[in-house]
Chains A and B, each alone.
Chain A
Amino acid sequence: MDFSMAPGTFLFEAWQARASLLSGLGVTLLSSALSIVMATFCGILMGVALSYGWWWLKLLSRLYVDLMRGIPVLVLILFTYYGLALFGVNVAAFWAGVIALGAFATAHVAENFRGAVESVPAGQMEAAKAIGLTFGKRLYYVILPQAFRRMLPPWVNTGLEIVKGTTLLSIIGVVELLLSAQQQMARNYMIVEFYLLTMVLYLIINFALAQLGALLERKTSYLRY
């Protein structure tokens, strides 16, 4: 690799491509963040249903979780993308992708929530009942704080999977980081260099996410007993 800044060198081309790459990076970050928020919110609700729901609600959410685990994300994305149009919902590819990724990760968060909640000894729920706390308060003040630390590592993993999964949005034409890099390659033919550059960017995002998880784990270390 020639590291001078003359035209035709990697650094020059990367500088030329900076705006497109940054906007691709932005799309990757935004779609990841939206999917993670959606998966966390819906996943916790579904986790509550899995752990404490009426039998039919448990069954439905179990069915959902098992469905999502058996179907590839890419198929979900394509299905959502092509399928939503049939419902007369004209959503942009971006939103189809975010919804599909979020729906997929919801199943992971829900299952992870259930596992964490079940790891809290049964006596905790009973003691919380005995002092007269209602269901929501038992969950909020007693069960969740104890389950939280256990949920954290798999939640970070789900986050990593989502970030990596956003590359699949390129297949339905969302110009996220991978596709924007590929568009640049089509111009400058610097295939190896730009793929490596893209890899480094993903490494940075995912490394940062992992660090954030570690930080949260340290910050909540007072919850260890």
Chain B
Amino acid sequence: MTEPALLQATDVRKHFGEIEVLKGIDLTVKQGQVVSLIGASGSGKTTFLRCVNLLEEHDGGEILLDGDPVGYRTVGGTRKRLSETKISAQRARIGMVFQQFNLFPHLTAGQNVMLGLTKVQGKSAAEAREIADHWLGRVGLGERRDHYPYQLSGGQQQRVAIARAVAMQPRLLLFDEVTSALDPELVAEVLGVMQALAESGMTMLLVSHEMLFVREVSHHVLFLDQGRVAQEGSPSEVFDNPESERVRSFLGRFHGIFSR
């Protein structure tokens, strides 16, 4: 490993009560890489993603973003939770796009994108508007700046959500099953935007069930099973040479998609 990793997770563990959902995840994302997490539902993919952005707190192991531990600092051997302000600052360096879009319904598309720029990054309204216009244009929604979320289709809402995340110029973008809540005919427009972002060199960590897309854009794929990494490698390694029966049967379900 010559390049320093942008995101370095080591032995990440997470319990919900008695249940251990993450049983030690190791993962590295380098600058400019697209890394994908695949696996059955309940395998811990989404939980891991949420730990990276501190929407959940991991209770074992370490997640380093640019070398800084996420959510904690270590004082004399014990872990201490960071202050609310520091956690917010860390989150601002990571963008996240959700399955359910989570656009702010009382704000227009443009205001959704501008909120973080003005209130977190302290940019002027004029500058923020310029940036918002730029990114809304990049996701093909320049015309819809003044529309409220309820006036947009699911696919358009998700593209606004992507613009909202990218406009903050995050070090890393997280995508949590962003096409799962969309009608099938709207999936392509969102994947198109994500592909363009990947090609522009954005560092991305994504959880997805769109196997064809994962195979095409990823540099590295991890197959998660019951809170562990069952197999990882380049897309062709994972998709063409599944090591275990579980990986094989999971990927087998998507066979129809590959042969499309």
Chain A interface residues (CB < 8 Å from chain B): 121, 123-124, 126-135, 137, 141-142, 145-146, 222-223, 225
Pair A131/B103 contact, Cβ less than 8 Å: no
Q: How far is the CA of A223 from the CA of B55 in the complex (A)?
A: 27
Tell whether, in the assembled complex, residue A135 and residue B96 are in contact, meaning their CB atoms are under 8 Å apart.
Answer: no
- Decide if B106 touches A225 in the complex (CB within 8 Å): yes
Interface size of B in residues (CB-CB distance below 8 Å): 32
Q: Mark B6-35, 1 if CB is under 8 A from A, else 0.
A: 000000000000000000000000000000
Which residues of B have CB within 8 Å of A137?
Answer: 119-120
A210 shortest CB reach to chain B, Å: 25
Q: How far is the CA of A77 from the CA of B115 in the complex (A)?
A: 45
Residue contact A127 to B103, C-beta cutoff 8 Å: yes
Given A126-B102, A132-B91, output 14 extra A-B contacts at Cβ < 8 Å. Answer: A127-B96, A130-B91, A130-B95, A130-B98, A131-B91, A131-B92, A131-B120, A132-B88, A132-B89, A133-B116, A134-B88, A146-B104, A225-B105, A225-B148
B98 adjacent to A123 (CB under 8 Å): yes
Q: Give Cα A5–Cα B114 distance, bound, in whole angstroms.
A: 67
Q: B165: which A residues are within 8 A, CB to CB?
A: 130-131
Question: How many A-B contacts at CB < 8 Å in the complex?
Answer: 75
> Which 8 A/B pairs are nearest by Cβ-Cβ distance?
A132-B92, A131-B116, A127-B102, A123-B102, A130-B96, A225-B105, A132-B120, A132-B91
Q: Are A131 and B105 in contact (CB under 8 A)?
A: no
The proximity string for B residues 40-74 relative to A, scoring 1 for CB distances below 8 Å and 0 otherwise, is 00000000000001110000000000000000000
Q: Which residues of B contact A132 (CB under 8 A)?
A: 88-93, 116, 120, 168
Q: What's the Cα separation between A137 and B102 when bound, in Å?
A: 17
Name the A residues within 8 Å of B100 (CB-CB).
121, 123
Contact between chains at A225 and B149 (CB < 8 Å): yes
A126: chain B residues within 8 A (beta carbon): 55, 98, 102
Contact between chains at A124 and B104 (CB < 8 Å): yes
Known: A130-B96, A131-B92. A124 touches B102 (CB 8 A): yes
Which chain B residues lie closer than 8 Å to A127 at the CB level? 96, 98, 102-104, 161
A138 CB, min distance to chain B CBs, angstroms: 9
Q: List 27 A-B contacts (CB under 8 A).
A: A121-B100, A124-B104, A126-B55, A126-B98, A127-B102, A129-B54, A129-B91, A130-B91, A130-B95, A131-B115, A132-B88, A132-B90, A132-B91, A132-B120, A133-B88, A133-B115, A133-B116, A133-B119, A134-B84, A135-B84, A135-B88, A142-B104, A142-B115, A146-B105, A222-B106, A225-B105, A225-B106
Cross-interface CB contact of B55 among A130, A222, A225, cutoff 8 Å: A130
Q: Which A residues touch B149, using CB under 8 A? A: 225
A130 CA to B165 CA, complexed, in Å: 8
Centre residue among A141, A145, A223 by max chain B CB count within 10 A: A141
B121's closest neighbor in chain A, by CB?
A132
The reply to whether B119 and A141 form a contact with Cβ atoms under 8 Å apart is yes
Choose from A129, A131, A134, A222 the contact partner of B164 (Cβ within 8 Å): A131
A210 to B133, CA, bound (A): 42
Task: Give the distance in Å from the alpha carbon of A133 to the alpha carbon of B150 in the complex.
Answer: 23
Q: B85 an interface residue at 8 Å Cβ cutoff? A: yes
Chain A residues with CB under 8 A of B98: 123, 126-127, 130
A146 to chain B, nearest CB (A): 6
Separation of A126 and B95 alpha carbons in the complex (Å): 12
The CA-CA distance from A132 to B88 in the complex, in Å, is 5
Q: How far is the CA of A185 from the CA of B90 in the complex (A)?
A: 70
A-chain residues with CB within 8 Å of residue B102 when the two chains form the complex: 121, 123-124, 126-127
* Given known A123-B98, A123-B100, contact A129–B106 (CB-CB < 8 A): no
Q: Which single residue of chain A is at the shortest CB-CB distance from B111?
A: A141
Give Cα distance in the complex from A127 to B96, angstroms. Answer: 8
Q: Which residues of B sit under 8 angstroms from A145, Cβ to Cβ? A: 106
Which residue on B lies nearest to A144, using beta carbons?
B106
Nearest-neighbour CB distance to chain A for B82, whole angstroms, equals: 12
Within 8 A of A (CB), among B157-214: 161, 164-165, 168
Chain A: CB-nearest residue to B83 = A134
Complex Cα spacing A225 to B115, Å: 19
Smallest CB separation, A79 vs chain B (Å): 39
Complex-state Cα separation, A223 to B111, whole angstroms = 14
